[in-house]
Amino acid sequence: MGDVAPSEREPNKPPGRVTPTAEGILRLHGANVERAARVVRLAADLFHSTSAAHGLPTEDLEVVRTAACLHDLGAGATGPTQAAQLVLQHGIAGLEAADVAVVAGAVGSLGGLVAAPDDDGRAARICALVAIAAALDDDGAIDTQVAHVDDTRRALRVYVGPPAFAGSVKSANAASAASDQTLRRPMRLAADGGSRYYIRPGDTMQATAYKIAARLYSEVRAREPGVRRDADIEDLHKFRVATRRLRAALRAFRPVFGRAVLRDAAASTRAVARATNAARDLDVFIEALEEDDFTTRVPTLMAHISGDRTVAIRGTVDTLDGDAYDDLIRATESLLVQIHPQTHAVERRRALRRVRDEAPRMIGIRLRRVLAYADGLAADDDERMHDLRIAIKQLRYVLEFVRDILPDDADKAVNELKALQDSLGDLNDCAVQRVYVAAHTSDAESQANMSEVERVTLELLAVRIELRRERALARFLEEWNGFIDADRQRLLAFRLGL
């Protein structure tokens, strides 16, 4: 918080005098150190989140932190003017004279100081961020932090929480409004409601697509190291889900941008997602075996699964090291630049429409695709059941993409679709596991190594898998018949605002 170690004596300091740290100045003049620490954290958070939009280089972070540390010095001095003079008189360890002057300006006016003409307003912008951070701390919201910044409109929307007291957000917005002519882009703060994509009803379809794709791409990249380490199977699962959601988003917004714009990102995302299939199927199988207490009773099967999973995860990592993942990164990052509303205006009519007007159409198309399977769905038609599972997944994902602007009851619809998807997923898992056990049982090398007890146990396992499949099928049919019921569909349409 600006409390770097004392530096060498500065040329304008008397011999024997050491330049103090920012925290040292605070303590010397009796300012509130605890509050200063909170404001430093908030100011640094705002800087990290918005500095690019305001044209502040990363090396200005220490100036912002120091200004935030000393912003309240006037409370312990005779006034803001004297506080600024104290900063100039003491100097600050680790800062150049020009940066000390910026800090003095913040201390003296909390953003009201007019920056020197030759610094392109840099000092004033730093002061403005400190002023907003100080106002955000007014109600003592100790854990408040920046949760998300929506930069798809001219004015930045900064979501803060948890918790974010209404009074502190109001105070911060007043400070932000006073800085509209100072900051490169206006900022407004809002309490964070825990949204996933931060979609607003007035967003254009271009902005909506950008927000969803950017969030999902960040999730893919965030999970990549965990997939490589392979210490927790949840990393592979979450990576897989993020890539599949990203692919679904690119598909959903194809009418907005056109197929050609999205082709490269969609193709590479599909290739990477497929590279996770084998390892994830085996992870699910291992979990099922552990749940049914089979792992210690089928040693040759477990050895087989372990060997196959080692090969499968190596294949996944090879994909991350190869062209497909490089293509995903290159194509998706290029796409995000192309569709960002503040950098490129997409000249297509659908791109300019509001999501509140387009969402019902997006949902309705996918709902009709799901309901098309209501007639003639046979439980033994694996291909048709697989296609239905894909249709349900696409409908569910679109609902989740625009959840922020749907009625409150939409969560019930999402949960119904998730239940259907889970039941169909269980059916698919059982089919994969049944084939795997049959192949292992008939393998000559495996047979030579297994005991008679294990042979009997494998037969029991095959029966257990079939029972799980039958239960999953019965559960799905009950859920499906309820879902396609005419009265339920009318209720669903009401819940989704269709």
Total domain count for the chain? Answer: 3
Q: In terms of domains, do 361 and 332 share one?
A: no
- Over the stretch 15-57, which tens digit does the pLDDT of each residue have? 556 788 888 888 887 778 888 899 999 999 999 999 999 999 9
Q: Is the peptide bond before 162 cis (omega within 30 degrees of 0)?
A: yes
Say if residue 405 is in the same domain as residue 443: yes
Whether 335 contacts 262, CB under 8 Å: yes
Q: Is the alpha carbon torsion for 483, 487, 490, 491 positive or negative? A: negative
Which amino acid does the sequence have at 329?
I
Question: Residues 368, 405: one domain?
Answer: yes
Confidence of residue 457 (pLDDT cuts 50, 70, 90): very high
Question: Would you state the pLDDT for residue 141?
Answer: 61
pLDDT beyond 60 at 10 = no
pLDDT level of residue 421 (50, 70, 90 thresholds): very high
Same domain, residue pair 28 and 177: yes
The CATH number given to whatever domain includes residue 412 is 1.40.20.10
Q: Are residues 310 and 368 both part of a single domain?
A: no
Residues 332 and 207 in one domain: yes
Residues 177 and 223 placed together within one structural domain of the fold:
no
Lowest mean pLDDT among 143-147, 375-379, 409-413: 375-379
Which domain-ending residue is among 152, 182, 212? 182
Confidence (pTM): 0.88
Q: Which is higher by pLDDT, 419 or 70? A: 419
C-alpha dist (Å) from residue 255 to 246, 260, 341? 16, 11, 17
**Per-residue pLDDT tens digits for 206-242:** 999 999 999 999 999 999 999 999 999 999 999 999 9
Residues 26 and 175 in one domain: yes
Average pLDDT of the residues in 470-486: 93
Q: What is the pLDDT of residue 3?
A: 45
Distance, in Å, from the CA atom of 172 to the CA atom of 133, rounded to the nearest integer, reads: 7
- pLDDT at position 231, please? 95
243 plus 311 within the same structural domain? yes
Q: What is the pLDDT of residue 163?
A: 64
Q: Is residue 196 part of a domain?
A: no
Q: Is the pLDDT of residue 6 over 50?
A: no
- pLDDT of 87: 84
How many CA atoms within 13 Å lie on the side-chain side of 118?
A: 1
Domain membership flag for residue 154: no
The whole-number pLDDT of residue 316 equals 98
Q: What is the pLDDT of residue 119?
A: 61
| CA atoms in the 13 A half-sphere facing the CB of 137 | 24
What percent of the chain stands above pLDDT 90? 63
35 plus 171 within the same structural domain = yes
Asked if the structure places residue 209 within a domain, the reply is: yes
Whole domain around residue 121: which residue ranges? Answer: 22-143+167-182
Is the domain of 293 the same as that of 330? yes
Do 110 and 134 contact (CB within 8 A), yes or no? yes
Judge whether 342 lies within some domain. no
